């Protein structure tokens, strides 16, 4: 089942939002992909315009790759539908963008930069734990804190989700700090601040890699530029390169 022309199968599946190219290769090798009624085990297969493709029984058709940047306000959950009938981030988007999945998440009370996409490669690059993409948060605590907690947060504290540490912490004012993380444990910052004896009053993510909100207002969104995608992808490629070098 090989053809000299056409789109490589893993790229086709990734463009349809199935997953990253690597995960799509795995699906092929595990016999989960059927083309024109036959199981395809060849990741190098070239998709033809007339091909009928299924993954785990579901018809796959190519989708336009789209990624957006959303300034999430507090009070919205990162899900398409909520069992408790809470407002969701998808209420901020036109129906034509409801197929996009959030890349990572911000909890109900958190605000700031959120990417939504059907780009499997970008999602993999930003969320795979080994890539350790840096994210910058601005944190406001309920009460003033001592400088000593900055060192504690950088050295690491024990929380409900395990030991967690910040890449860096910078004091902004008596109750505000900036924290850089390269991990994404559930409610990590809130648990870390609680572990040093304080509570979070406001939490805003302002940066992912070099991507920022700039002038984007709360509740508004815009499309991710190609140059911005390339910059985010290059971060994960550098991580993979340094990891491979360290093994030599």
Q: For 64, which DSSP code?
A: -
For the question of whether the overall pTM of this predicted structure is more than 0.85, the answer is no
Q: What is the pLDDT of residue 2?
A: 43
Task: Kindly list the structural domains of the chain, giving each domain's residue range(s) and its CATH number in brackets, ordered by start.
Answer: 7-59 (3.10.290.10), 67-129+211-224 (3.30.70.580), 134-208 (3.30.70.1560)
Would you state the structure tokens that stand for residue 78, as one six-digit string? 């990162």
β pairing state of 111-117 and 200-208: parallel
Position 1 pLDDT exceeds 60: no
Question: How far is residue 139's CA from residue 220's CA, in Å, rounded to a whole number?
Answer: 21
């939504």: which residue's tokens?
A: 116
Q: Band of the pLDDT at 6, cuts 50, 70, 90?
A: confident
86-89: long-range contacts (C-beta < 8 A, 24 or more apart)?
89/114, 89/116
pLDDT digits (tens, 9 = 90+) for 104-126: 999 999 999 999 998 888 988 99
**Cβ contact 191:164 at 8 Å:** yes
Catalytic positions, please? 107
CA atoms within 13 A on the CB side of 209: 23
pLDDT digits (tens, 9 = 90+) for 173-205: 999 999 999 998 889 999 999 999 999 999 999
């Amino acid at each position: 089942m090989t053809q000299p022309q056409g789109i490589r199968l893993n790229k086709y599946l990734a463009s349809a939002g199935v997953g990253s190219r690597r995960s799509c290769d795995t699906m092929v090798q595990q016999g989960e992909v059927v083309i024109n009624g036959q199981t395809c085990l060849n990741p190098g297969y070239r998709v033809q315009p007339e091909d009928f493709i299924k993954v785990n029984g579901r018809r796959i058709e190519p989708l336009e790759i789209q990624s957006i940047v959303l300034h999430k306000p507090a009070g919205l959950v990162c899900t398409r539908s909520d069992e408790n009938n809470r407002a969701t981030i998808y209420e901020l988007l036109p129906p034509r963008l409801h197929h996009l999945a959030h890349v990572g998440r911000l909890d109900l009370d958190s605000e700031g930069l959120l990417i939504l996409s059907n780009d499997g490669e970008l999602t993999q690059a930003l969320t795979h734990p080994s890539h350790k993409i840096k994210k910058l948060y601005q944190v406001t605590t309920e009460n003033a804190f001592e400088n000593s907690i900055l060192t504690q947060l950088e050295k690491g504290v024990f929380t409900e989700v395990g030991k967690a540490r910040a890449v860096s912490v910078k004091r902004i004012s008596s109750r505000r700090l900036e924290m850089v993380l390269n991990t994404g444990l559930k409610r990590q910052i809130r648990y870390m601040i609680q572990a040093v004896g304080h509570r979070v009053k406001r939490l805003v993510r302002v940066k992912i890699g070099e991507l920022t909100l700039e002038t984007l207002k709360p509740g508004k969104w815009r499309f991710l530029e190609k140059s911005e995608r390339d910059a985010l992808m290059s971060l994960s490629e550098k991580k993979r390169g340094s990891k491979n070098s360290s093994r030599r």
